[in-house]
Amino acid sequence: MIKNMKQIKDWGLGLKTPLLIAGPCSAETEEQVLTTGREIAKAGKAQVFRAGIWKPRTRPGLFEGIGEVGLEWMAQVKKETGLLLTTEVATAEHVELALKHGVDILWIGARTTVNPFSVQEIADALKGVNIPVMVKNPINPDLALWVGAMERLAGAGIDRIAAIHRGFSSYEKTPFRNAPLWEMAIELKTQYPNLDIICDPSHIAGTRELIPYVAQKALDLDMAGLMIESHVTPSVAWSDAKQQVTPDRLNELYSALTFRKPNSDNPEFGNKLEALRGEIDRLDDEIFHSIATRMNVTQQIGEYKKQNGVTILQVGRWEEIVNKRVALGKAMGLSEEFLKKTLELLHKESIRRQNLVMNDKPEVTAK
């Protein structure tokens, strides 16, 4: 049912891909919404303005969204700047209010996609309504649940659907707030080549610093666009303060992204150097990812040694590592000098990390 979804460029809204959707996590005040919207529009990169009006918060007592009045502020942004509007809906009432205030595109949040009752309620509210809907992946890595939500909407007659990849909750410690599990997005695209997928680097990253990395990776995977949270004063945002960027910063990071040409059936895909550089970028990312994973294991070993009163440095073990790895690396065509230097660096950093553990100063990992 979702095989023949209209792609974003064919939604009839004048949108071009890759599409940039930007705006604050939450609408907070009239001033914040208008200033953010104006600054985003001024940079000219985004085509759609986002803001959360009803916020699904993990624990009660936090800001749960400004409600309907925020839609009036968003409508003002649209009137002044021409940016299209999108917001999250989780109930039939949200749908009704969003439509009443001229929201152009709806999205279903990760905490709603997990619940077929809620998705069905939204789908029922959309029967006979002609509006595009973007569906965020469920918080758990369950492709069928993601697809199922889109099928419910398609069943209600919605023929303009896009998926949003926003990462997945994971028990494992990762540098991300939500583990990207890129393979899930790739699998979705493989099953439904026509379905556009937009990446939400903000909710994957969880911190401003990681947004460019995630955004680039998404573009390299040929995603149809990015949704990035942007706020005039991110540090005092009422929700997701750590992952929002100012409109200026958004402009800067977006301009620094490399938009590679899509795949081989594009006649322009002759730029071999560009393709090879892309490969290098990907491999470097993998190397760093592996090193970070290695350091986490190192830290666990440090904790274990500490519990058992064992010293950090065990010369025998280290010699064994060097001998084995150098032999292997040489067989792979790497020079002995390079291998030894690299291992030395890894070893030094591991010892430093274990020292921190011994002295009760565990490394802070971004979450």
Q: Give the interface with ligand PEP as residue ranges (CB under 6 A).
A: 25, 52, 56, 109-111, 136, 166, 203
**Footprint of Mn ion (CB under 5 A):** 25, 240
Q: Phi then psi for 7, rounded to 5 degrees?
A: -80, 160
Of the pair 212, 234, the CB lying nearest Mn ion is at 234
CA 280 vs. chain centroid, Å, equals 22
Distance of closest approach, residue 298 Cβ to ligand PEP, in angstroms? 32
Distance of closest approach, residue 227 Cβ to ligand PEP, in angstroms? 7
Q: 109 contacts which partner out of ligand PEP, Mn ion, none, CB within 5 to 8 A by kind?
A: ligand PEP
Distance of closest approach, residue 167 Cβ to ligand PEP, in angstroms? 8
Q: 66 contacts which partner out of ligand PEP, Mn ion, none, CB within 5 to 8 A by kind?
A: none
Of the pair 26, 174, the CB lying nearest Mn ion is at 26
How many angstroms separate the first and last alpha carbons of the chain?
37
Q: 94 contacts which partner out of ligand PEP, Mn ion, none, CB within 5 to 8 A by kind?
A: none
Helices marked H in the chain: 30-43, 69-81, 92-100, 110-113, 116-125, 143-155, 182-191, 201-205, 211-220, 247-255, 272-307, 315-331, 336-358
Query: What are 353's two structure tokens?
Result: 């990390």
Distance of closest approach, residue 106 Cβ to ligand PEP, in angstroms? 12
Q: 212 contacts which partner out of Mn ion, ligand PEP, none, CB within 5 to 8 A by kind?
A: none
Distance of closest approach, residue 224 Cβ to Mn ion, in angstroms? 20
CA 218 vs. chain centroid, Å, equals 8
Q: From CA 227, how far away is CA 86, in angstroms rounded? A: 11
Residues 154, 24, 66, 102: what is their CA dihedral angle, to the nearest 10 degrees? -50
Q: Which helix (H) or strand (E) holds 227?
A: strand 225-229
Which sign, positive or negative, has the C-alpha torsion 286, 287, 288, 293? positive
> DSSP letter string over 228-285?
EEB-SSGGG-SS-GGG-B-HHHHHHHHHTS------TTSTTTT-HHHHHHHHHHHHHH
Q: 362 contacts which partner out of ligand PEP, Mn ion, none, CB within 5 to 8 A by kind?
A: none
**Could you tell me how many residues make up the chain?**
367
Of the pair 86, 298, the CB lying nearest ligand PEP is at 86
Of the pair 55, 78, the CB lying nearest ligand PEP is at 55
Q: For residue 250, which of 212, 294, 280 has the smallest C-alpha distance?
A: 212
Q: 138 contacts which partner out of Mn ion, ligand PEP, none, CB within 5 to 8 A by kind?
A: none
Q: 110 contacts which partner out of ligand PEP, Mn ion, none, CB within 5 to 8 A by kind?
A: ligand PEP
Of the pair 220, 240, the CB lying nearest Mn ion is at 240
Of the pair 110, 195, the CB lying nearest ligand PEP is at 110
**Residue closest to Mn ion (Cβ):** 25
Query: What are 15's two structure tokens?
Result: 């949108």
Distance of closest approach, residue 97 Cβ to ligand PEP, in angstroms? 17
Distance of closest approach, residue 260 Cβ to ligand PEP, in angstroms? 26
Of the pair 118, 243, the CB lying nearest Mn ion is at 243
Which sign, positive or negative, has the C-alpha torsion 317, 318, 323, 326? positive
Of the pair 243, 298, the CB lying nearest ligand PEP is at 243
Which residue reads 């070893």 in tokens? Answer: 347
**Residue closest to ligand PEP (Cβ):** 109
Q: 152 contacts which partner out of Mn ion, ligand PEP, none, CB within 5 to 8 A by kind?
A: none
Distance of closest approach, residue 239 Cβ to ligand PEP, in angstroms? 7
